[in-house]
Amino acid sequence: MVEITIRKRSQTEAVITQRKFFKKTARGKVVKVLRERYLRDDVGCGIEGCRECASSDEELLPVNGDLTHQSYPNGHYILPDTNVFLSQMDLLESDRFRSPMILLQTVLEEVRHRSLPLYNRLKALTKSEDKRIWTFYNEYRSETAIVREEDETPNDRNDRGIRIATAWYNTHISLTRPPIRGQTKNAPPTVVLMTEDAANRQKAEQAGISCISVRKYVEGMKDASQLLDLLSATGSDDVEPTRASGRQVLYPEYLSSATLMAGVKAGELHQGHFNPNPYNYLEGTVSVPAFSKPILLAGRENMNRAVQGDIVVVELFNEKEWKAPTDEVVDQEATLKNDDAEDSAEEGDENGEDVIAKESRVLRSAQVPVSERQPTGRIVGVIKRNWRAYVCHIDSTSLTSTLTTSLSTQTVFATPVSRLLPRIRLRTRQAPSLLNQKILVTIDRWDTTSRYPEGHFVRSLGKVESKEAEQESLLLEYEVPYRPFGKAILDCLPPEGDSWVVPSKGGGDNHNVWRDREDLRDVIVCSIDPPGCQDIDDALHAKLLPNGNVEAGVHIADVSHFVLPDNPMDSEAAARGTTVYLVDNRIDMLPSLLGTNLCSLRPYVERLAFSTIWELTPNADIVDVRFTKSVIQSKAAFTYEEAQIRKDDPHLQDELTKSIRLLNSLAVKLKAKRMTAGALNLASPEVKIHLDSAESSEPIDVEQKELRETNSLVEEFMLLANVSVARKIDESFPQTAVLRRHLPPPKTNFEKLQDILRKTRGLTLDVSSSGALAASLDKCIDPSEPAFNTLVRIMATRCMLSAEYFCSGSVGRDTFGHYGLASDIYTHFTSPIRRYADVLVHRQLAAAIGFSPLHASLHSKSHVEKVLDVVNRRHRMAQMASRASVEFYVGLALKGRGEASKARGEGEVREEAFVIRTFRNGVGVFVSKLGIEGLVTFTRDIQFDADNYTVTVPGSASAGSKEDAKISVFDKVVVQIEVEKDKNTQRGKVKMTLIEPVDSRAL
């Protein structure tokens, strides 16, 4: 029998062994938390061959540490403090940074407290196979555990704990390596405290502890020239000082956090997300609940160093100072092209003064009617920065030397791919070799004395315009997780792999797969999808019943059978949120074994499904609905075109064709009912890219997508299934049901579109309800131009709010509705292979019908809210990534078409376009055939009538048109389209020039 010794702790030890702190609850109550901590003397140091510490199964640090550093010839280990991980994570993640590292528990906990994203990156770093990191639990080792002293701040307490742990390590190494008689004693390796805090270094030096700054340490490494570029500008020793004398202050200081929060709470200040103006880099807006129109921020000083997506606090100006947005296109690159990266904002900088004067002229807008003005203010603080790694190009004109052999540090401009972001100053030794490359740059700080934020180089993505670099940059720009699925995730897949099949009903069902499942293998089921679809989520069937009604079914892949709650695969799917579809690639939410095989409802194989089956009258009224887990065997997989041909062929009278016709007749009636209820038939520009081949993925042409009856057939039954499931899960789980809503847009969103339609076409747009809007959109027609109605619908769509997932217990029931679908309740159930929200809905529906108990996490409102916040963000980013992919390939296709056209002697590509916006110095146009927008700018003065949304362009004898041309919004024009490469950044961009009614090349 094992002997157990019970030891009683003395009262005096309680000071060391108890941890006391105060915590604020969700309701704002402050509570005291007392935690017992059990100190030990057997917490291992993690160094290989240590005689005092017990051996571990984990990978240990090498016995002599790292021997390659110039300053530590006898070997060393680094022990970074918290600020190193907070500011220099890109350096620590680099493949070139291989120093053995000791990570203290104190540091790990403080990083978690300060930044959850950085904490997750740090945890991933500790698991990386090419890093040597030992996590030392210093708070539980008796020699290194400390308590906070009286009047000591938490930060000072942690710094002291880190110094004590460093000192203990050095003593421990010396004691465990005693001299051997007859042998020369070698100096033991050193544990070096790495810190950016000068005060902490000073205290360490006074205590005889070896310490070093990050920059000094990197300078002594063998790959110093490459690694120095990865250093964050924050806190770097040798970077030019933030407030050097002779630097002009350009921006006001931010208010303190306490002042900001008090002002927001009192209603004197307003909080929201900063959104820059895509047409004018000197303007931005912040939408806040207090006003129906966003608060306008005009001028660099009032935007006060905010970047896209920052959560900012705004102070409102007096109403007399309110302005309207400028109606001029102001391009950052053109205005700031002569700025010097080395000394922008220095006193006596003539170019800087020119820039300020130029920007001031732009901001002196003409007098506008009071009705057009909107709340105007200035940013007085930032609550949360949205800084991340940005895809950029190096501006060649900012280099002082372009010799590739030059290793001198240069300050250069990195121009982000997104035109919504400012240029970033960075210091690098690699500038010449980074020209014509796509690179990743992180912002570190933005001082009040600099026109630009400062950042550091992270890594190169590859050559500009190479497919690999373009695709990776797109995924990074929209924060799409694209790492391969790890071993822990793949271990969650069925061990049979591709050979997994639905077990035989009866004796062979060892895992109870058939339990409570309905056998629908004999039902004539088919799928209808886009060409090349591999992840088939849904299949349908319909058949006549003896009573004259129709049985219709939607069968959805039973993903929740394979993806179990709270395992590594489930966590990864929740983090990814959605599958991302690019033109020539797909970034899956789930491993391909599930997405394109075991879950995909492929034809002629048995698959597990979750079925929604209705009894409908011939008029498509629901008599009954039931939900069941099932086993199906799809009889065919059609494309939309194939299903349409089959439906329209009068010679085909087989059961499958009859089923498609029956589904279509019901779909027509279902859509009519939705439209009668006030559903909107909106539009978005969708194009189809024709690729040369699957291998080359070279685009050869672009055309508008053709929508057929069968597209509508599938859409109507998916909508019906989603609504039916939403009602069921809301009824069963009224506090945590995963639902989707589309809030009614503020009426002010439509004011400009209503005014344009009234003044240019004499048409009215009633936005009092979704039904009224739908009816008035139907009346927006131009008999001579069929595309006009589609254009108006596209512009109306842009006035809408985005739909979002939500937890039913988190919002009022009066806000559940889906405005666009005119439905009082809605969810997503029909695409669990590619949307994580649908997986959650499947779990809730399974519990609602008694198939399986609901996992505890889906009973927690806070957990559901947190998961859906991530899913909503991933969904938005995936949509933007897909659109950006289409735009890139449209650009490639246009470039190819233009080169072919020139080779034939036909000149550049020309297309018809519609004017969708007018400016004081240009017009915005939409090319419906290509689904792209562009900007035509004029360098010469033109007449601009802001009230009537028209510009009058002077004729030019040289261009063959002497008469002035008046152009209004919605007018059809002809534009010349070419893809040109920016000479400085090598960034390709679509350039449009007006050809008809007047040739703008002469302007």
Q: What is the pLDDT of residue 264?
A: 93
Report the SS3 class of residue 386. Answer: coil
pLDDT tens per residue across span 135-194: 999 998 989 988 888 888 889 999 999 999 999 999 999 888 776 666 666 788 999 999
Read off the pTM. 0.81
- Which pLDDT band holds residue 635 (cuts at 50, 70, 90)? very high
| Residue 123 CB partners (closer than 8 Å, separation 6+) | none
Decide yes or no: CATH 3.40.220.10 for domain 387-464: no
Which of the four CATH numbers 3.30.9.10, 3.20.20.80, 2.40.50.140, 3.90.226.10 does domain 908-996 have?
2.40.50.140
pLDDT tens per residue across span 889-941: 887 788 777 777 777 776 778 888 999 999 888 899 998 888 888 888 887 77
H or E stretch at 843: helix 836-848
pLDDT tens per residue across span 738-753: 999 999 998 888 989 9
Report the SS3 class of residue 977. Answer: strand
949 phi-psi bin (left φ>0, alpha ψ -120 to 50, beta other): left
* Among candidate residues 257, 267, 323, the one with its CA nearest the CA of residue 295: 323
pLDDT tens per residue across span 119-146: 888 988 888 878 899 999 999 898 998 8
Q: Which residue has the higher pLDDT, 424 or 372?
A: 424
Q: Residue 9: count other Cβ atoms within 10 Å of its Cβ.
A: 12
Q: Where are the domains of the chain?
A: 16-178+187-229, 250-341+370-386, 387-464, 515-738+822-879, 908-996
Cis status of the peptide bond prior to 997, with omega within 30 of 0:
yes
Q: Where are the alpha helices (DSSP H) in 678-824?
A: 709-732, 751-761, 770-778, 787-797
Q: What is the pLDDT of residue 237?
A: 40
Q: Which residue has the higher pLDDT, 243 or 987?
A: 987
Residue linked to tokens 């570029």: 229
Q: Where are the alpha helices (DSSP H) in 849-946?
A: 861-903
Q: What is the pLDDT of residue 242?
A: 36
Q: Rounded distance, CA 154 to CA 146, Å?
A: 12
pLDDT tens per residue across span 932-970: 888 888 877 788 888 888 988 887 655 555 678 889 999
Highest mean pLDDT pick, 114-123, 350-359, 569-578 = 569-578
Token pair in block for residue 113:
């407290």
Residue 407 has pLDDT above 60, yes or no: yes
Q: What is the pLDDT of residue 181?
A: 64
Q: Are 845 and 554 in contact (CB under 8 A)?
A: no
pLDDT tens per residue across span 277-299: 988 889 999 999 888 889 999 98
H or E stretch at 350: helix 350-363
Q: What is the pLDDT of residue 236?
A: 42
Residue 666 has pLDDT above 80, yes or no: yes
Longest dimension (CA), the chain: 108
Q: Rounded distance, CA 680 to CA 669, Å?
A: 16
Mean pLDDT along residues 656-680: 93
Label residue 342 exposed, middle or buried (CB < 10 Å: 0-12, 13-18, 19+): middle
Token pair in block for residue 70:
């110039």
Decide yes or no: CATH 3.40.50.1010 for domain 16-178+187-229: yes
Q: Are 157 and 82 in contact (CB under 8 A)?
A: no
Mean pLDDT along residues 507-528: 87
Residue 600 has pLDDT above 90, yes or no: yes
- Long-range contacts of residues 707-710, Cβ cutoff 8 Å, at least 24 apart: 708/640, 708/641, 708/644, 709/644, 709/647, 709/664, 709/667, 710/528, 710/638, 710/640, 710/641, 710/643, 710/644, 710/647, 710/660, 710/664
Report the SS3 class of residue 874. Answer: helix
Backbone angles phi, psi at 111, to 5 degrees: -65, -40
Backbone angles phi, psi at 401, to 5 degrees: -145, 135
Q: What is the pLDDT of residue 686?
A: 63
Domain formed by 250-341+370-386, architecture: Beta Barrel (2.40)
pLDDT tens per residue across span 26-64: 566 777 777 777 788 888 898 988 888 877 777 889 988
* Among candidate residues 671, 646, 639, 641, the one with its CA nearest the CA of residue 661: 646
pLDDT tens per residue across span 777-799: 888 888 888 888 888 988 898 88
Q: What is the pLDDT of residue 841?
A: 97
Tell me, yes or no, if the two domains 250-341+370-386 and 908-996 fold the same way: yes
